[in-house]
Structure 1
Amino acid sequence: MGNNFENMIFVANMGEDTISVVDITNTIELYKIGLNEEYFHKVRKPTLGPHHMIIDYNKKYLYITNSHNGSISIVDLIKNKVIDNIYVGSCPSHMVLSKKNKSIYVSNTDSNSISVLSMEKKELLAQIPVGRMPHDIQLSKDHKKLYVANVDSNTLTIIDTITNDIEKSIHVHGNPYHIALNKDGSLIFIVNTSFSSRQGGSITILDSKDLKVIERIRIGKMPIEAVIGKDEKILYITDAELNAVNVLNIREKRLMDRVYVGRMPGSIKKDHKGQYLFVGNMQDNSLTVIDAKALKILKTIPVGIEPSGILCI
């Protein structure tokens, strides 16, 4: 297949140590890439737990966080096989790639740190201590800052990517889990999840210039991840408790609609044109495809066990 991934997406299956390669044009799973071949022959339980993925700028290598064993797997997408593993911290969750300094940043949820990896040497450069239970991380638009959501500290840590020093940590609302930025990077949207459906979740909106909270909007019961719509008027938010995608009107600060998907939806991504939404349903082992404008489900595609991460190329 080479490295032509037009109209294809990758899905990390945490419950079976595989990556599903899905053809969106024909809405089918084409094949799976095994991250741990021993799983299929000797071990019944998954030992890696792939959670999140990024791809290099040449679309040759896929990097995957393995939450169960503290490593990053590197997959050669021409050979469709793992060529290397780099050990980072405990329970690595999310990654971002900075082309500016040729580094990959990894959040280590159980060791309260950010690992910095060299893309060229594929080795660990630094460990940066942050708040408790860092989960999602995002780069500012100029790649000069790294935003870290610390779930158990209720904080957002800002790291200078030139020096890898912490600039500051600010308090946000409870359980900041995922982060989304608008196109120009002026607004930061934080998904505050809830481990109690009675309490409910919320979206915190910050001004990235002065890092002041602009608004907090209550939403759903257990919001997990969010993506911003094509026109930046809408925020699509998965809700694991409601088994739905909440559709939030950002300007009017109100719930516009709710699309019910599979059981325990977590990861949500959109294609590069903003036409489709892809939702991973952890308990149904499926991927839901939604028309973002019409808010209609187009297809539900069976994938691997516990799809926890989605990557659109």
Structure 2
Amino acid sequence: MKVYISNYLSKSISILSYPKFEVEKEIYLEEDIYPHHICVDEEKNLMYIPSSSNGILYILDLISNEIVESISIGGNLSQISLCNGELFISNEDSNSIYILDQKTLNPVGIIGVDEMPHGFDFNNIENKLYVPCVNSIICIDTLSKCIDRKKEIGFKAWHIKIDCKKSEIYTSTLDGKIVILDESKMKIIKVLEGFLLPVQVCFSYKDNKVYVADLGYKNISILDYDTGELLGCINIDGNPQGLEITKDEKLLIVSDTQKNAIKIYDTSNDELVKEIKVGKEPTTILCV
């Protein structure tokens, strides 16, 4: 497994080894490439980087460390993911999801959604893509490329994470709340409060915990998986933004945009294991 980090302000990609979490490689990108979100195809050794500054999608060869191709999409590009040989990219300016064929980079389709689709998450088993927008969550069928259903939630949805175990959707909002929906019915189950600016969410099923990165309070909230009650907080002493958990669920990885570091925590006791300096303003974390 490798850990990939996008460093927004230093315009670079850090690649960390696992399980030692040492910096194996630092790839510096071209002047106009500001990497916020990324996705990786390990088989092809390619990384896909949408640049929000100029609306261009860049393809980085992870062997040569060179940009091998680029395509102009336009607008404020945000999140990107691979699904069934297609690239899905959210565009906040045009309020849409762009779909490209991975091999040819030809357009497959454009799906109009509601205002400001920043992030999204896939249910690959059901072939569904869930997109948080201002005031709504939209479910897209990735096979038909059509909107399957939509739920207005009354909050400014921002980031989203699917809980595959319970078939629930956790949505962080700019209103300082986490909205939990039933995935099949798109019905609000619970609204969790007490946050200031929640960003990413991840689950430790092994330890029965939910982690929420709160950029406003500069900590990681630890919630009981069954009840949603607050169990405690991890004080980051910085600005937590990216959040990821290793596949064995033993380690929590946090990007600190203030200290320009990646911080590793043991999920059994939530104590700091290691801190690694990377580029400026690390945002997205990928464990592949």
TM-score (norm 2): 0.94
The one-letter code sitting in structure 1 at the alignment partner of 2:111 is I
Q: 1:109–1:133: 8 Å Cα contact kept in structure 2?
A: yes
**Matches of 1:103 and 1:77, distance apart in 2:** 19
Secondary structure of the equivalent of 2:5? strand
Q: 1:203–1:219: 8 Å Cα contact kept in structure 2?
A: no
**Correspondence for 2:116:** 133
1:234-269 Cα offsets, whole Å, 9 max, x none, are 210101121111101132221101001142211101
Q: 2:220 aligned with 1:245, yes or no?
A: yes
The one-letter code sitting in structure 2 at the alignment partner of 1:280 is S
Secondary structure of the equivalent of 1:97? strand
How has the CA–CA distance of structure 1 residues 96 and 222 changed in structure 2, closer, same or farther, with 3 Å as cutoff?
Answer: same
How has the CA–CA distance of structure 1 residues 260 and 173 changed in structure 2, closer, same or farther, with 3 Å as cutoff?
Answer: farther
Q: 2:36 aligned with 1:61, yes or no?
A: no
- Give the aligned CA root-mean-square deviation in angstroms: 1.7
Q: 2:172 aligned with 1:171, yes or no?
A: no
1:214-243 Cα offsets, whole Å, 9 max, x none, are 111113211111111133732101011211
Q: 2:54–2:74: 8 Å Cα contact kept in structure 1?
A: no
How has the CA–CA distance of structure 1 residues 96 and 27 changed in structure 2, closer, same or farther, with 3 Å as cutoff?
Answer: closer
Q: Where do 1:202-221 residues align within 5 Å?
A: 202-221=177-196
Q: 1:140–1:185: 8 Å Cα contact kept in structure 2?
A: no
**Correspondence for 2:6:** 12
**Correspondence for 1:257:** 232
How has the CA–CA distance of structure 1 residues 232 and 92 changed in structure 2, closer, same or farther, with 3 Å as cutoff?
Answer: farther
Among 127, 149, 160, the alignment partner of 2:132 is: 149
TM-score (norm 1): 0.87
Secondary structure of the equivalent of 2:164? coil
Secondary structure of the equivalent of 1:52? coil
Percent identity over paired residues: 27
**Matches of 2:198 and 2:223, distance apart in 1:** 12
**Matches of 1:301 and 1:232, distance apart in 2:** 25
**Matches of 2:80 and 2:126, distance apart in 1:** 14
Q: 2:153 aligned with 1:159, yes or no?
A: no
**Correspondence for 1:48:** 33
1:35-77 Cα offsets, whole Å, 9 max, x none, are 21xx3xxxxxxx3210111112525211122111112221112
The one-letter code sitting in structure 2 at the alignment partner of 1:308 is T
**Correspondence for 2:197:** 222
**Correspondence for 1:27:** 21
The one-letter code sitting in structure 2 at the alignment partner of 1:159 is I
The one-letter code sitting in structure 1 at the alignment partner of 2:98 is S
Q: 1:233–1:251: 8 Å Cα contact kept in structure 2?
A: yes
The one-letter code sitting in structure 1 at the alignment partner of 2:83 is S
How has the CA–CA distance of structure 1 residues 279 and 27 changed in structure 2, closer, same or farther, with 3 Å as cutoff?
Answer: same
**Matches of 2:216 and 2:15, distance apart in 1:** 27
Q: 2:269 aligned with 1:294, yes or no?
A: yes
5+ residue gaps, structure 1: 1-5, 40-46, 195-200
Q: 1:177–1:225: 8 Å Cα contact kept in structure 2?
A: no
How has the CA–CA distance of structure 1 residues 227 and 213 changed in structure 2, closer, same or farther, with 3 Å as cutoff?
Answer: same
Tell me how many residue pairs correspond in the alignment: 288
**Correspondence for 1:42:** none
1:29: Cα distance to partner?
A: 2.1
After TM superposition, what 4+ stretches of structure 1 lie above 6 angstroms from structure 2? none
**Matches of 1:112 and 1:95, distance apart in 2:** 14
**Correspondence for 2:60:** 75
**Matches of 1:55 and 1:97, distance apart in 2:** 8
**Matches of 1:126 and 1:16, distance apart in 2:** 33
**Matches of 2:188 and 2:80, distance apart in 1:** 25
Among 172, 182, 188, the alignment partner of 2:163 is: 182
**Correspondence for 2:101:** 118
5+ residue gaps, structure 2: none
**Matches of 1:207 and 1:114, distance apart in 2:** 23
Q: 2:207–2:268: 8 Å Cα contact kept in structure 1?
A: no
**Matches of 1:173 and 1:292, distance apart in 2:** 33
**Correspondence for 2:172:** 191
How has the CA–CA distance of structure 1 residues 307 and 139 changed in structure 2, closer, same or farther, with 3 Å as cutoff?
Answer: same
1:130: Cα distance to partner?
A: 0.8
Question: Which stretch has the larger CA shift, 209-218 or 122-131?
Answer: 122-131
1:166-187 Cα offsets, whole Å, 9 max, x none, are 2232112422111111234711
The one-letter code sitting in structure 2 at the alignment partner of 1:34 is Y
